[in-house]
Amino acid sequence: MSASLTPEQRVVHFLNRTSFGPTFESVERVRQLGARAYLDEQLEPQRISDAVAEEKTAGLKTMRLSTRELFELYPPTKMAQDRAGLAAEMQQRRLSLQELQQARFLRAVHSRRQLFELMVDFWSNHFNVFAAKGPDLWLSTPYDREVIRPRALGKFRDLLIATAKSPAMLFYLDNWLSSSPGAAPIARNQAIAARRGINENYARELMELHTLGVDGGYTQEDVREVARCFTGWTILRPRYEAEFYFAPRLHDPGAKTVLGTRIPAGGGMEDGMKVLDLLARHPSTAKFIAAKLARRFVADEPPAALVNRAADTFRRSDGDIRAVIRTIINAPEFYAPEFYRAKIKNPLEFAASALRATGAETRVTHQLVRYLGRMGEPLFLSRPPTGYADVGAAWASPDMLLTRMNFAVDLVGNRLDGAKVAPGALRDVQALAQLVAPDSLSAETRDALAQAGEKDAPALLLAAPEFQRR
Protein backbone atom coordinates (compact mmCIF):
# COMPACT_ATOMS: atom_id res chain seq x y z
CA MET A 1 0.00 0.00 0.00
CA SER A 2 1.24 3.49 -0.86
CA ALA A 3 1.98 6.15 1.73
CA SER A 4 -1.50 7.58 1.23
CA LEU A 5 -4.71 6.50 -0.46
CA THR A 6 -5.47 7.65 -3.98
CA PRO A 7 -8.59 9.79 -4.49
CA GLU A 8 -10.44 6.78 -5.92
CA GLN A 9 -9.44 4.63 -2.96
CA ARG A 10 -10.56 7.30 -0.50
CA VAL A 11 -14.03 7.42 -2.04
CA VAL A 12 -14.51 3.65 -2.02
CA HIS A 13 -13.03 3.37 1.47
CA PHE A 14 -15.38 6.10 2.73
CA LEU A 15 -18.42 4.34 1.27
CA ASN A 16 -17.31 0.92 2.50
CA ARG A 17 -17.25 2.30 6.06
CA THR A 18 -20.36 4.53 5.98
CA SER A 19 -22.73 2.35 3.97
CA PHE A 20 -23.49 -1.24 3.13
CA GLY A 21 -21.16 -0.99 0.16
CA PRO A 22 -20.45 1.39 -2.71
CA THR A 23 -22.46 1.50 -5.89
CA PHE A 24 -21.51 3.27 -9.10
CA GLU A 25 -24.13 5.92 -8.27
CA SER A 26 -22.93 6.53 -4.70
CA VAL A 27 -19.30 6.79 -5.86
CA GLU A 28 -20.31 9.49 -8.33
CA ARG A 29 -22.30 11.35 -5.67
CA VAL A 30 -19.36 11.43 -3.27
CA ARG A 31 -17.14 12.70 -6.07
CA GLN A 32 -19.61 15.50 -6.79
CA LEU A 33 -20.29 16.57 -3.19
CA GLY A 34 -17.09 15.62 -1.43
CA ALA A 35 -16.98 13.22 1.49
CA ARG A 36 -17.73 15.78 4.22
CA ALA A 37 -20.80 17.17 2.48
CA TYR A 38 -21.99 13.65 1.70
CA LEU A 39 -21.51 12.73 5.37
CA ASP A 40 -23.51 15.78 6.45
CA GLU A 41 -26.29 14.71 4.10
CA GLN A 42 -26.29 11.15 5.46
CA LEU A 43 -26.42 12.39 9.06
CA GLU A 44 -29.78 14.06 8.30
CA PRO A 45 -31.65 11.01 6.96
CA GLN A 46 -35.09 12.59 7.40
CA ARG A 47 -34.19 14.95 4.55
CA ILE A 48 -33.36 12.11 2.15
CA SER A 49 -36.17 10.70 0.03
CA ASP A 50 -36.19 6.92 0.36
CA ALA A 51 -38.92 5.91 -2.06
CA VAL A 52 -37.28 2.71 -3.32
CA ALA A 53 -36.72 1.24 0.14
CA GLU A 54 -40.23 2.24 1.19
CA GLU A 55 -41.68 0.59 -1.90
CA LYS A 56 -39.63 -2.57 -1.31
CA THR A 57 -40.84 -2.92 2.28
CA ALA A 58 -44.44 -1.80 1.69
CA GLY A 59 -45.69 -5.37 1.35
CA LEU A 60 -44.32 -6.45 4.75
CA LYS A 61 -47.57 -5.89 6.65
CA THR A 62 -46.31 -6.88 10.11
CA MET A 63 -43.82 -4.00 10.07
CA ARG A 64 -46.72 -1.56 10.51
CA LEU A 65 -48.73 -3.49 13.12
CA SER A 66 -48.91 -2.52 16.78
CA THR A 67 -47.94 -4.96 19.50
CA ARG A 68 -51.61 -5.62 20.20
CA GLU A 69 -52.35 -6.31 16.53
CA LEU A 70 -49.41 -8.71 16.27
CA PHE A 71 -50.60 -10.69 19.29
CA GLU A 72 -54.19 -10.73 18.03
CA LEU A 73 -53.27 -11.89 14.52
CA TYR A 74 -50.71 -14.47 15.69
CA PRO A 75 -51.83 -15.39 19.22
CA PRO A 76 -49.32 -17.33 21.36
CA THR A 77 -51.99 -19.29 23.23
CA LYS A 78 -53.59 -21.19 20.36
CA MET A 79 -52.31 -24.75 19.89
CA ALA A 80 -52.97 -26.81 16.76
CA GLN A 81 -54.24 -30.36 17.16
CA ASP A 82 -52.16 -32.11 14.51
CA ARG A 83 -48.61 -31.97 13.20
CA ALA A 84 -49.50 -30.21 9.95
CA GLY A 85 -51.57 -27.66 11.81
CA LEU A 86 -48.79 -27.06 14.32
CA ALA A 87 -46.27 -26.48 11.52
CA ALA A 88 -48.60 -24.00 9.83
CA GLU A 89 -49.25 -22.23 13.12
CA MET A 90 -45.54 -21.92 13.92
CA GLN A 91 -44.93 -20.51 10.45
CA GLN A 92 -47.59 -17.86 11.09
CA ARG A 93 -46.10 -17.02 14.48
CA ARG A 94 -42.68 -16.52 12.94
CA LEU A 95 -43.99 -14.30 10.15
CA SER A 96 -43.26 -11.08 12.04
CA LEU A 97 -39.65 -12.18 12.62
CA GLN A 98 -39.23 -13.20 8.97
CA GLU A 99 -40.59 -9.88 7.75
CA LEU A 100 -38.39 -8.00 10.23
CA GLN A 101 -35.36 -9.84 8.82
CA GLN A 102 -36.47 -9.12 5.27
CA ALA A 103 -36.96 -5.42 6.02
CA ARG A 104 -33.48 -5.13 7.52
CA PHE A 105 -31.96 -6.79 4.44
CA LEU A 106 -33.99 -4.77 1.93
CA ARG A 107 -33.12 -1.48 3.60
CA ALA A 108 -29.44 -2.38 3.74
CA VAL A 109 -29.49 -3.01 -0.02
CA HIS A 110 -31.82 -0.29 -1.29
CA SER A 111 -32.07 2.55 1.21
CA ARG A 112 -30.54 5.89 0.26
CA ARG A 113 -30.22 6.54 4.00
CA GLN A 114 -27.27 4.19 4.20
CA LEU A 115 -25.51 5.56 7.26
CA PHE A 116 -28.77 5.64 9.18
CA GLU A 117 -29.52 2.01 8.33
CA LEU A 118 -25.97 1.07 9.28
CA MET A 119 -26.44 2.73 12.67
CA VAL A 120 -29.81 1.06 13.20
CA ASP A 121 -28.04 -2.25 12.70
CA PHE A 122 -25.21 -1.16 15.01
CA TRP A 123 -27.53 -0.23 17.90
CA SER A 124 -29.73 -3.28 17.37
CA ASN A 125 -26.62 -5.34 17.92
CA HIS A 126 -25.39 -3.21 20.83
CA PHE A 127 -28.76 -3.42 22.61
CA ASN A 128 -29.31 -6.97 21.45
CA VAL A 129 -32.60 -8.80 22.00
CA PHE A 130 -32.94 -12.48 21.03
CA ALA A 131 -36.13 -12.38 18.95
CA ALA A 132 -36.97 -16.07 19.40
CA LYS A 133 -37.34 -15.87 23.19
CA GLY A 134 -41.03 -16.20 24.06
CA PRO A 135 -43.04 -13.00 23.43
CA ASP A 136 -39.97 -11.31 21.93
CA LEU A 137 -41.06 -13.04 18.74
CA TRP A 138 -43.83 -10.40 18.67
CA LEU A 139 -42.07 -7.62 20.60
CA SER A 140 -38.98 -7.34 18.38
CA THR A 141 -40.80 -5.54 15.56
CA PRO A 142 -42.03 -2.68 17.79
CA TYR A 143 -38.58 -2.63 19.44
CA ASP A 144 -36.93 -2.01 16.07
CA ARG A 145 -39.57 0.46 14.88
CA GLU A 146 -40.27 2.46 18.04
CA VAL A 147 -37.11 2.18 20.15
CA ILE A 148 -34.01 1.78 17.96
CA ARG A 149 -34.85 3.48 14.66
CA PRO A 150 -36.10 6.85 15.99
CA ARG A 151 -32.97 7.29 18.15
CA ALA A 152 -30.18 5.75 16.06
CA LEU A 153 -28.58 9.15 15.38
CA GLY A 154 -29.77 11.02 18.46
CA LYS A 155 -28.54 11.24 22.05
CA PHE A 156 -27.20 8.07 23.63
CA ARG A 157 -29.04 8.77 26.90
CA ASP A 158 -32.40 8.81 25.10
CA LEU A 159 -31.62 5.51 23.41
CA LEU A 160 -30.49 3.98 26.71
CA ILE A 161 -33.69 4.99 28.49
CA ALA A 162 -35.89 3.77 25.64
CA THR A 163 -34.24 0.34 25.63
CA ALA A 164 -34.48 0.10 29.43
CA LYS A 165 -38.25 0.66 29.25
CA SER A 166 -38.78 -1.55 26.21
CA PRO A 167 -40.94 -4.65 26.83
CA ALA A 168 -38.63 -6.54 24.46
CA MET A 169 -35.56 -5.80 26.60
CA LEU A 170 -37.41 -6.21 29.89
CA PHE A 171 -38.53 -9.67 28.83
CA TYR A 172 -35.26 -10.74 27.18
CA LEU A 173 -33.10 -9.96 30.23
CA ASP A 174 -35.81 -10.98 32.74
CA ASN A 175 -36.09 -7.63 34.51
CA TRP A 176 -39.86 -7.81 34.21
CA LEU A 177 -39.69 -10.50 36.90
CA SER A 178 -37.34 -8.58 39.20
CA SER A 179 -38.83 -7.53 42.52
CA SER A 180 -37.88 -6.81 46.10
CA PRO A 181 -37.57 -10.16 47.93
CA GLY A 182 -40.32 -9.18 50.36
CA ALA A 183 -42.77 -8.00 47.69
CA ALA A 184 -46.13 -9.73 47.40
CA PRO A 185 -46.50 -11.48 44.01
CA ILE A 186 -48.94 -9.84 41.63
CA ALA A 187 -48.78 -12.37 38.79
CA ARG A 188 -51.75 -14.69 38.37
CA ASN A 189 -49.51 -17.34 36.87
CA GLN A 190 -48.03 -19.20 39.84
CA ALA A 191 -44.99 -20.35 37.87
CA ILE A 192 -44.17 -16.73 37.08
CA ALA A 193 -44.93 -15.59 40.61
CA ALA A 194 -42.50 -18.18 41.95
CA ARG A 195 -39.68 -16.67 39.86
CA ARG A 196 -40.06 -13.24 41.48
CA GLY A 197 -37.16 -11.80 43.47
CA ILE A 198 -34.20 -9.66 42.52
CA ASN A 199 -32.91 -10.57 39.07
CA GLU A 200 -29.45 -9.23 38.18
CA ASN A 201 -29.41 -10.07 34.46
CA TYR A 202 -30.34 -6.63 33.14
CA ALA A 203 -28.26 -4.77 35.73
CA ARG A 204 -25.16 -6.72 34.74
CA GLU A 205 -25.60 -6.36 30.98
CA LEU A 206 -26.59 -2.70 31.37
CA MET A 207 -23.15 -1.94 32.78
CA GLU A 208 -21.01 -4.55 31.02
CA LEU A 209 -22.47 -4.35 27.50
CA HIS A 210 -24.62 -1.23 27.20
CA THR A 211 -22.61 1.45 29.02
CA LEU A 212 -19.42 1.11 31.09
CA GLY A 213 -17.84 -1.96 29.52
CA VAL A 214 -16.38 -4.94 31.33
CA ASP A 215 -13.44 -2.87 32.59
CA GLY A 216 -15.54 0.19 33.34
CA GLY A 217 -14.94 0.24 37.09
CA TYR A 218 -18.07 -1.37 38.52
CA THR A 219 -18.18 -4.20 41.06
CA GLN A 220 -20.51 -7.08 41.80
CA GLU A 221 -21.98 -4.96 44.60
CA ASP A 222 -22.79 -2.29 42.00
CA VAL A 223 -24.58 -4.94 39.94
CA ARG A 224 -26.74 -5.88 42.92
CA GLU A 225 -27.47 -2.25 43.79
CA VAL A 226 -28.43 -1.43 40.19
CA ALA A 227 -30.70 -4.49 40.16
CA ARG A 228 -32.41 -3.16 43.30
CA CYS A 229 -32.94 0.18 41.56
CA PHE A 230 -34.75 -1.53 38.67
CA THR A 231 -37.06 -3.71 40.76
CA GLY A 232 -40.63 -3.01 39.72
CA TRP A 233 -39.70 -2.07 36.15
CA THR A 234 -41.98 -4.61 34.54
CA ILE A 235 -44.44 -5.29 31.72
CA LEU A 236 -48.19 -4.87 31.73
CA ARG A 237 -49.87 -7.67 29.74
CA PRO A 238 -46.58 -9.21 28.48
CA ARG A 239 -48.39 -11.60 26.14
CA TYR A 240 -50.87 -9.11 24.73
CA GLU A 241 -50.31 -5.36 24.45
CA ALA A 242 -47.02 -5.48 26.37
CA GLU A 243 -46.48 -2.00 27.79
CA PHE A 244 -43.84 -0.78 30.21
CA TYR A 245 -45.20 -0.47 33.74
CA PHE A 246 -43.66 0.51 37.06
CA ALA A 247 -45.12 -1.57 39.88
CA PRO A 248 -44.42 0.27 43.18
CA ARG A 249 -45.12 -2.73 45.37
CA LEU A 250 -42.47 -4.77 43.57
CA HIS A 251 -39.83 -2.09 44.08
CA ASP A 252 -37.13 -2.17 46.74
CA PRO A 253 -37.73 1.17 48.53
CA GLY A 254 -34.47 1.29 50.48
CA ALA A 255 -31.45 3.50 49.89
CA LYS A 256 -28.87 2.30 47.36
CA THR A 257 -25.31 3.20 46.40
CA VAL A 258 -24.24 2.87 42.76
CA LEU A 259 -20.65 3.62 41.69
CA GLY A 260 -20.18 5.63 44.87
CA THR A 261 -23.33 7.71 44.34
CA ARG A 262 -25.98 7.46 47.04
CA ILE A 263 -29.58 7.08 45.87
CA PRO A 264 -31.90 7.99 48.78
CA ALA A 265 -34.71 5.75 49.96
CA GLY A 266 -38.23 6.19 48.63
CA GLY A 267 -37.33 7.18 45.08
CA GLY A 268 -39.54 4.62 43.38
CA MET A 269 -39.16 4.52 39.60
CA GLU A 270 -36.73 7.44 39.77
CA ASP A 271 -34.10 5.09 41.24
CA GLY A 272 -33.75 3.46 37.83
CA MET A 273 -33.81 6.79 36.01
CA LYS A 274 -31.00 8.09 38.23
CA VAL A 275 -28.93 5.01 37.37
CA LEU A 276 -29.49 5.54 33.64
CA ASP A 277 -28.47 9.20 33.96
CA LEU A 278 -25.38 8.25 35.94
CA LEU A 279 -24.34 5.60 33.42
CA ALA A 280 -25.11 7.66 30.31
CA ARG A 281 -22.79 10.45 31.52
CA HIS A 282 -20.08 8.30 33.08
CA PRO A 283 -16.55 8.70 31.60
CA SER A 284 -16.24 4.94 31.17
CA THR A 285 -19.39 4.93 29.02
CA ALA A 286 -17.96 7.67 26.80
CA LYS A 287 -14.79 5.63 26.34
CA PHE A 288 -16.64 2.34 25.77
CA ILE A 289 -19.08 3.71 23.18
CA ALA A 290 -16.35 5.70 21.44
CA ALA A 291 -14.18 2.58 21.18
CA LYS A 292 -17.04 0.50 19.83
CA LEU A 293 -17.92 3.09 17.18
CA ALA A 294 -14.24 3.47 16.24
CA ARG A 295 -14.05 -0.30 15.91
CA ARG A 296 -17.02 -0.25 13.55
CA PHE A 297 -15.76 2.60 11.38
CA VAL A 298 -11.97 2.28 11.52
CA ALA A 299 -10.30 -0.92 12.75
CA ASP A 300 -10.69 -3.96 14.99
CA GLU A 301 -8.13 -2.31 17.27
CA PRO A 302 -8.70 1.42 16.74
CA PRO A 303 -5.95 3.91 17.61
CA ALA A 304 -6.10 5.01 21.24
CA ALA A 305 -5.74 8.69 20.30
CA LEU A 306 -8.79 8.49 18.05
CA VAL A 307 -10.85 6.73 20.73
CA ASN A 308 -9.87 9.40 23.24
CA ARG A 309 -10.94 12.21 20.91
CA ALA A 310 -14.23 10.48 20.17
CA ALA A 311 -14.81 9.92 23.90
CA ASP A 312 -14.13 13.60 24.52
CA THR A 313 -16.72 14.50 21.89
CA PHE A 314 -19.19 12.12 23.54
CA ARG A 315 -18.71 13.87 26.90
CA ARG A 316 -18.77 17.43 25.57
CA SER A 317 -21.87 16.81 23.41
CA ASP A 318 -23.76 14.92 26.13
CA GLY A 319 -23.66 11.71 24.10
CA ASP A 320 -24.60 13.13 20.70
CA ILE A 321 -24.19 10.17 18.35
CA ARG A 322 -23.93 12.35 15.22
CA ALA A 323 -21.11 14.37 16.76
CA VAL A 324 -19.13 11.27 17.72
CA ILE A 325 -19.51 9.82 14.21
CA ARG A 326 -18.28 13.09 12.68
CA THR A 327 -15.24 13.08 14.95
CA ILE A 328 -14.32 9.54 13.89
CA ILE A 329 -14.95 9.82 10.16
CA ASN A 330 -13.36 13.26 9.77
CA ALA A 331 -10.27 12.14 11.69
CA PRO A 332 -6.99 11.63 9.76
CA GLU A 333 -6.81 8.07 11.13
CA PHE A 334 -9.96 7.18 9.19
CA TYR A 335 -8.05 7.31 5.90
CA ALA A 336 -4.78 5.87 7.21
CA PRO A 337 -3.42 3.37 4.62
CA GLU A 338 -3.01 0.66 7.25
CA PHE A 339 -6.78 0.68 7.80
CA TYR A 340 -7.72 0.45 4.12
CA ARG A 341 -9.72 -2.79 3.71
CA ALA A 342 -8.69 -3.72 7.26
CA LYS A 343 -12.19 -4.81 8.34
CA ILE A 344 -13.74 -8.14 7.33
CA LYS A 345 -17.37 -7.69 6.35
CA ASN A 346 -19.96 -9.43 8.47
CA PRO A 347 -22.50 -11.55 6.54
CA LEU A 348 -25.10 -8.80 6.19
CA GLU A 349 -22.45 -6.37 4.95
CA PHE A 350 -21.08 -8.93 2.51
CA ALA A 351 -24.43 -9.98 1.05
CA ALA A 352 -25.82 -6.43 0.87
CA SER A 353 -22.62 -5.07 -0.69
CA ALA A 354 -22.66 -7.83 -3.32
CA LEU A 355 -26.25 -7.03 -4.26
CA ARG A 356 -25.46 -3.30 -4.34
CA ALA A 357 -22.29 -3.70 -6.41
CA THR A 358 -24.02 -5.86 -9.02
CA GLY A 359 -27.13 -3.67 -9.13
CA ALA A 360 -29.27 -6.75 -8.54
CA GLU A 361 -33.02 -6.29 -8.50
CA THR A 362 -33.89 -7.58 -5.04
CA ARG A 363 -36.97 -8.80 -3.25
CA VAL A 364 -35.75 -10.50 -0.10
CA THR A 365 -36.88 -14.09 0.18
CA HIS A 366 -36.38 -16.88 2.69
CA GLN A 367 -33.45 -18.15 0.61
CA LEU A 368 -31.58 -14.85 0.88
CA VAL A 369 -32.22 -14.51 4.62
CA ARG A 370 -31.22 -18.14 5.21
CA TYR A 371 -27.91 -17.47 3.45
CA LEU A 372 -27.08 -14.99 6.22
CA GLY A 373 -27.76 -17.69 8.78
CA ARG A 374 -25.49 -20.11 6.95
CA MET A 375 -22.78 -17.44 6.99
CA GLY A 376 -23.20 -17.15 10.76
CA GLU A 377 -25.48 -14.12 11.19
CA PRO A 378 -29.18 -15.02 11.38
CA LEU A 379 -30.69 -11.56 11.81
CA PHE A 380 -32.16 -10.73 15.24
CA LEU A 381 -31.24 -14.20 16.48
CA SER A 382 -28.09 -13.71 18.51
CA ARG A 383 -28.93 -15.64 21.66
CA PRO A 384 -26.29 -14.09 24.00
CA PRO A 385 -26.74 -10.40 24.92
CA THR A 386 -23.32 -9.60 23.42
CA GLY A 387 -24.85 -9.63 19.94
CA TYR A 388 -22.67 -10.45 16.94
CA ALA A 389 -18.96 -9.67 17.01
CA ASP A 390 -17.45 -6.78 15.06
CA VAL A 391 -13.96 -8.21 14.66
CA GLY A 392 -12.57 -10.13 11.73
CA ALA A 393 -11.81 -13.34 13.58
CA ALA A 394 -15.55 -13.95 14.06
CA TRP A 395 -16.22 -14.11 10.31
CA ALA A 396 -13.16 -15.79 8.81
CA SER A 397 -13.76 -19.52 9.27
CA PRO A 398 -13.32 -21.75 6.19
CA ASP A 399 -17.00 -22.80 6.24
CA MET A 400 -18.22 -19.20 6.37
CA LEU A 401 -15.91 -18.14 3.53
CA LEU A 402 -17.00 -21.10 1.41
CA THR A 403 -20.63 -20.10 1.91
CA ARG A 404 -19.76 -16.57 0.77
CA MET A 405 -18.19 -17.99 -2.39
CA ASN A 406 -21.32 -20.01 -3.06
CA PHE A 407 -23.43 -16.91 -2.55
CA ALA A 408 -21.34 -14.99 -5.09
CA VAL A 409 -21.61 -17.79 -7.66
CA ASP A 410 -25.37 -18.14 -7.12
CA LEU A 411 -25.89 -14.37 -7.34
CA VAL A 412 -23.96 -13.87 -10.56
CA GLY A 413 -25.54 -17.00 -12.04
CA ASN A 414 -29.03 -15.71 -11.18
CA ARG A 415 -29.72 -18.77 -9.03
CA LEU A 416 -30.79 -16.81 -5.95
CA ASP A 417 -34.53 -16.63 -5.46
CA GLY A 418 -35.22 -12.95 -4.88
CA ALA A 419 -32.14 -11.44 -6.58
CA LYS A 420 -31.74 -10.93 -10.30
CA VAL A 421 -28.71 -9.41 -12.02
CA ALA A 422 -29.62 -7.78 -15.32
CA PRO A 423 -28.18 -9.39 -18.48
CA GLY A 424 -24.92 -7.73 -19.43
CA ALA A 425 -24.67 -5.76 -16.17
CA LEU A 426 -21.37 -7.39 -15.24
CA ARG A 427 -19.60 -7.50 -18.57
CA ASP A 428 -17.24 -4.70 -17.59
CA VAL A 429 -15.22 -6.58 -14.97
CA GLN A 430 -12.62 -3.82 -14.83
CA ALA A 431 -15.25 -1.28 -13.80
CA LEU A 432 -16.48 -3.68 -11.11
CA ALA A 433 -12.89 -4.16 -9.94
CA GLN A 434 -12.52 -0.39 -9.54
CA LEU A 435 -15.65 -0.40 -7.39
CA VAL A 436 -14.29 -3.24 -5.25
CA ALA A 437 -10.66 -2.22 -4.84
CA PRO A 438 -9.53 0.67 -7.04
CA ASP A 439 -5.89 0.32 -8.11
CA SER A 440 -5.25 -2.26 -5.39
CA LEU A 441 -6.15 -5.76 -6.54
CA SER A 442 -3.52 -8.26 -5.46
CA ALA A 443 -1.37 -10.01 -8.07
CA GLU A 444 -3.12 -13.28 -7.19
CA THR A 445 -6.57 -11.81 -7.82
CA ARG A 446 -5.48 -10.18 -11.08
CA ASP A 447 -4.00 -13.47 -12.33
CA ALA A 448 -7.16 -15.37 -11.40
CA LEU A 449 -9.34 -12.84 -13.20
CA ALA A 450 -7.11 -13.00 -16.28
CA GLN A 451 -7.51 -16.77 -16.43
CA ALA A 452 -11.26 -16.74 -15.78
CA GLY A 453 -13.76 -16.47 -18.55
CA GLU A 454 -16.14 -13.54 -18.92
CA LYS A 455 -18.91 -15.55 -17.29
CA ASP A 456 -16.92 -16.55 -14.19
CA ALA A 457 -14.90 -13.39 -13.54
CA PRO A 458 -17.60 -11.37 -11.69
CA ALA A 459 -18.30 -14.20 -9.22
CA LEU A 460 -14.57 -14.70 -8.70
CA LEU A 461 -14.18 -10.99 -7.95
CA LEU A 462 -17.02 -11.02 -5.39
CA ALA A 463 -15.44 -14.05 -3.74
CA ALA A 464 -11.94 -12.51 -3.72
CA PRO A 465 -10.29 -11.40 -0.45
CA GLU A 466 -10.55 -7.78 -1.57
CA PHE A 467 -14.36 -7.96 -1.60
CA GLN A 468 -14.52 -9.79 1.73
CA ARG A 469 -13.03 -6.70 3.33
CA ARG A 470 -14.12 -3.13 3.72
Burial level of 91, CB count in 10 A (0-12/13-18/19+)?
Answer: exposed
Q: What is the pLDDT of residue 185?
A: 59
Give me the mean pLDDT over the 352-381 stretch: 94
Instruction: Tell me how far apart the alpha carbons of residues 269 and 283 are, in angstroms, rounded to a whole number.
Output: 24
Give me the mean pLDDT over the 39-66 stretch: 96
Which ranges of 216-282 does DSSP label H, i.e. alpha helix?
220-229, 270-280
Helix (H) or strand (E) holding 247, with range, is none
Q: What is the pLDDT of residue 279?
A: 98
Q: What is the pLDDT of residue 184?
A: 62
Instruction: Tell me how far apart the alpha carbons of residues 284 and 269 are, in angstroms, rounded to a whole number.
Output: 24
Q: What is the pLDDT of residue 77?
A: 59
Local confidence band at 358 (pLDDT 50, 70, 90 cut-offs)? very high
Q: What is the pLDDT of residue 183?
A: 73
Q: What is the pLDDT of residue 152?
A: 98
**Per residue in 281-293, pLDDT tens?**
999 999 999 999 9
Instruction: Tell me how far apart the alpha carbons of residues 32 and 53 are, in angstroms, rounded to a whole number.
Output: 23
Q: pLDDT over 90 for what percent of the chain?
A: 87
Q: How would DSSP label each residue in 358-419? A: HT-EE---HHHHHHHHHHT--TT---STT-S--SGGGG--HHHHHHHHHHHHHHHTT-STTE
For all residues of the chain together, what is the average pLDDT? 93
Local confidence band at 448 (pLDDT 50, 70, 90 cut-offs)? very high
Q: What is the pLDDT of residue 89?
A: 56
By the 8 A CB rule, do 127 and 148 touch? Answer: yes
Residue type, 30: V
Local confidence band at 364 (pLDDT 50, 70, 90 cut-offs)? confident
Helix (H) or strand (E) holding 205, with range, is helix 201-205
* Cα within 13 Å of Cα(205), Cβ side: 20
| Buried-exposed string 206-235: b where 16+ CB fall within 10 A, e elsewhere | bbbbbbbbeebebeeebbbbbbbbbbbbbb
Instruction: Tell me how far apart the alpha carbons of residues 119 and 109 are, in angstroms, rounded to a whole number.
Output: 14
Closest to 355 (Cα-Cα) out of 66, 8, 22, 59: 22
Which ranges of 34-179 does DSSP label H, i.e. alpha helix?
35-42, 51-57, 67-73, 83-93, 95-110, 114-126, 136-142, 156-165, 167-172
**Per residue in 298-350, pLDDT tens?**
999 999 999 999 999 999 999 999 999 999 999 999 999 999 999 999 999 99
Give me the mean pLDDT over the 80-94 stretch: 61
By the 8 A CB rule, do 400 and 394 touch? Answer: no
| Helix, strand, coil percent content, the chain, rounded in steps of 5 | 60, 5, 35
**Per residue in 233-274, pLDDT tens?**
999 988 788 999 999 999 999 999 999 999 999 999 999 999
Inform me whether the pLDDT recorded for 449 exceeds 90: yes
Residue type, 24: F
**Per residue in 185-202, pLDDT tens?**
555 555 455 567 999 999
Inform me whether the pLDDT recorded for 276 exceeds 60: yes
Local confidence band at 74 (pLDDT 50, 70, 90 cut-offs)? confident
Local confidence band at 181 (pLDDT 50, 70, 90 cut-offs)? confident
**Per residue in 102-149, pLDDT tens?**
999 999 999 999 999 999 999 999 999 999 999 999 999 999 999 999
DSSP-derived 3-state class of residue 17: helix
By the 8 A CB rule, do 115 and 122 touch? Answer: no
